[in-house]
Structure 1
Amino acid sequence: FITQTLDGLRRFPGALLVVLSGRDLVAKEFIDAIEQAGDSVLLAHLKQWRQDIFDADHTFSAFDAQVKMEAAVLIWLQQMEKKKPSKARAE
């Protein structure tokens, strides 16, 4: 599954946000796979749009973790809106 996800990320042309929970084995395996692959383009892309929530579990089940995740998504969406050309925002 992780290999397929990495392949999809490499081919995906758009912007993306990766939110990782700190208390999550799957998230750790995902990052380890990227680092082991040595894919500098993918690593650079993830550094730009990666948000770690260290106290969160895999499902962000704690309220505090949910709030942090929602805030990260909101900030990312606001940044994406700023990057749109002016004409596209007006429509």
Structure 2
Amino acid sequence: MTCKCRPDLARAGLPTEQIMRLNGPLKDMVTKVDVAMKVCTSQTEKLMAKVNKLEAIKKNIDWEMKELGNELRMQWIQMSGSVSPQIELSEVVA
């Protein structure tokens, strides 16, 4: 049976007998700890959602970087394979 007089303590999972044995200041302390735990849990869930989004963004960036690297490699191969005109040093000086 849970306590109906203190729903905040009942949510903490404390049985009615334990809640009723707590005196005023101790009840308040248990309530504050329960609220703090809920706030921490909520913030942790929000942070985990942000971490998951950032990991997805990083994965996309890594994929794009890999694709750009492949494209640059292909361009480099095409450039090095083609015959480029050779300029003689004497032509540049003259």
For this structure pair, what is the TM-score category when the shorter chain's length is used for normalisation? 0.3 to 0.5
TM-score (norm. length: structure 1): 0.34
Identify, as 1 or 2, the structure richer in strand. Answer: 1
Which protein is bigger by CA-based radius of gyration?
A: 2
Q: Which has the higher contact order (CA 8 A, sep 6+)?
A: 1
Identify, as 1 or 2, the structure richer in helix. Answer: 2
TM-score (norm. length: structure 2): 0.33
